Amino acid sequence: MGRKFFVGGNWKCNGTGEEVKKIVSTLNESEVPSEDVVEVVVSPPFVFLPLVKSLLRSDFHVAAQNCWVRKGGAFTGEISAEMLVNLSIPWVILGHSERRALLSESSEFVGDKVAYALSQGIKVIACVGETLEQRESGSTVAVVAAQTKAIADKVSNWDNIVLAYEPVWAIGTGKVASPAQAQEVHCELRKWLHNNAGAEVAASTRIIYGGSVNGANCKELAAQPDVDGFLVGGASLKPEFIDIIKSATVKKND
Ligand code: PGA
């Protein structure tokens, strides 16, 4: 089906200049499958983006963790998509649940951000996911479908979008979704894309899983047919991120 495995490392609001250099040198020294097998993107805080970009091996890429919803201007504290383009930052993470929950980003706002970033030529890791309450009330699929619809309403081309399914209850909690739970939602998301964006979009869009992925649980998750990679938080700051990248080889005999 030709969906290249994708592993993103979301460093969140962590690190000093020294720590960042250390992580990059660990990544640079690691032996991982080639770019044909796995696409690796790390996402440091904004202030470290130029440093990481300048030091990082050329087969790995960088992502910003957010950007402003429209063209830059009088928006104190924001970073525009144009600035990311200016620094040759190819990717951005949008709609992360921490921003949805703590900074009240609505699904519509996230949809607008995705559309604007794409219009500037930036590729997007777009995050969706349900809370524990929503899962327990049986509305998981409806919630992630609505979040995906808010994006689909604003974009016509999915070539440069990776969809990240990140159940909120699994993020940073050590409580990973089971492979079956992840597969079920990924499969529903792919069906949603099929019915609403077309068969080609459904077949080609990478749907990656995020939420307490680590070196020990990644292989079993990676083996699920609709899991096309990972968005990794805590473990992306540690050497085990390399094991997660290597889990791409699980797909090799497809
Ligand atoms: P976690 O975070 O791996 O620390 O659970 C994942 C994410 O928020 O992207």
Name the β-bridge partners of 40: 7, 60
Average predicted confidence (pLDDT) for the chain: 97
Alpha-carbon distance values, 208 to 18, 68, 104, 183 (Å): 30, 24, 23, 10
Cα of 73 vs centre of ligand 1, distance in Å, is: 31
Looking at the predicted structure, is the pLDDT value of residue 140 above 90? Answer: yes
Nearest C-alpha to atom 9 of ligand 1 is from which residue? 233
Residue 10 is predicted with a pLDDT of 98
User: What pLDDT band is residue 252 in, cutting at 50, 70 and 90?
Assistant: confident
User: What pLDDT band is residue 2 in, cutting at 50, 70 and 90?
Assistant: confident
Percentage of the chain beyond pLDDT 70 is: 99
Active-site residue flag, 194? no
Q: Within 10 Å of residue 59's Cβ, how many Cβ atoms?
A: 11
Nearest to 225 by CA among 40, 3, 34: 3
**pLDDT single digits (tens) 161-213:** 999 999 999 999 999 999 999 999 999 999 999 999 999 999 999 999 999 99
Span 83-100, average pLDDT:
98
Active-site residue flag, 166? yes
Residue 161 is predicted with a pLDDT of 98
User: What pLDDT band is residue 238 in, cutting at 50, 70 and 90?
Assistant: very high
Q: Which of 96, 98, 130, 188 is catalytic?
A: 96
Nearest C-alpha to atom 1 of ligand 1 is from which residue? 233
Within 8 A by CB and 6+ apart from 238, the residues are none
In the structure, which protein residues have their CB atom closer than 6 angstroms to any atom of ligand 1? 10, 166, 171-172, 210-213, 231-235
d(CA 230, CA 111): 21
Cα of 74 vs centre of ligand 1, distance in Å, is: 32
Q: Within 10 Å of residue 8's Cβ, how many Cβ atoms?
A: 24
Rg (CA), the chain: 17
d(CA 21, CA 120): 29
Looking at the predicted structure, is the pLDDT value of residue 253 above 80? Answer: no
What letter would DSSP give residue 243?
H
**pLDDT single digits (tens) 25-52:** 999 999 999 999 999 999 999 999 999 9
Q: Which of 105, 166, 186, 188 is catalytic?
A: 166
Mutate to test the pocket of ligand 1, among 232, 240, 243 (most ligand atoms within 8 A of CB): 232
Cα of 148 vs centre of ligand 1, distance in Å, is: 19
Residue 254 is predicted with a pLDDT of 53
Global pTM?
Answer: 0.98
